[in-house]
Amino acid sequence: MEIMKRLLGRVRLYLQITHLGGIVRRYFVMNGFDGSMTALGVVLGAWIIDVENPSIIVMTGLGASLALGVSGFFSAYIAEKAERRRYLKSLEDAMLTNLDGSLYKDATSFAPVFASLINGLSPVLMAMIPLAPFMLAMAGLTSMWMSYIASLALALTALFMLGVYLGRVAQENVLLYGIQMLAAGVVIAVIVFILGGA
């Protein structure tokens, strides 16, 4: 327990030093949104063509979200690492000193790893929410019809909650933010159904 406390304390300190909090919040929301929307698109497409095998939906959704996750992890790691190194070098030049072995250097090395983990995990975790009913259907615990309905409800709820989270971050109307995110999901649903009916 003491080790975990120290680890969390060190993470908080690194986040303060690098001002990474806002960046990882944006990463979480943007890629979480992508994961939710991707899974929603997979589910709606499967519904339209009347897929009756839940494992097809789960594997398609997981494959797409894992691709988003891996892409998000590496893109964030490479971009953050380059930015952090650039800033560290400019700071060393301004201070006329080498910061190797310093707390700031440790925090700078930590930032790309932490940011890339958030960027990579958020689409996978958010995609799991609408895919969960189909995992239950794979186990024979629910019907496909109920899985489709529950999945759609969970996806839209997850989008709404992402909006509420953003509203809290902005310290503005959480309901308005939630409705904006929910509207994006509804627009996707309408487009998929229009394309499916064409």
pLDDT tens-place string over residues 66-117? 999 999 999 999 998 998 888 888 888 888 888 787 878 888 889 899 999 9
Sequence-separated contacts (24+) of 161-168 with Cβ below 8 Å: 162/29, 162/32, 162/33, 162/36, 162/126, 165/29, 166/29
pLDDT tier at 170 (50, 70, 90 boundaries)? Answer: confident
**What pLDDT, on a 0 to 100 scale, did the predictor assign at position 103?**
78
pTM: 0.84
Average pLDDT of the residues in 12-38: 88
pLDDT above 80: residue 198: no
Per the listing, tokens 């990463």 go with 27
d(CA 65, CA 87): 32
- Mean pLDDT for the chain overall: 90
pLDDT at 197: 61
Average pLDDT over residues 183-197: 82
pLDDT of residue 193: 78
- Percent of the chain whose predicted confidence (pLDDT) is above 70: 99
Q: Average pLDDT, stretch 127-136?
A: 96
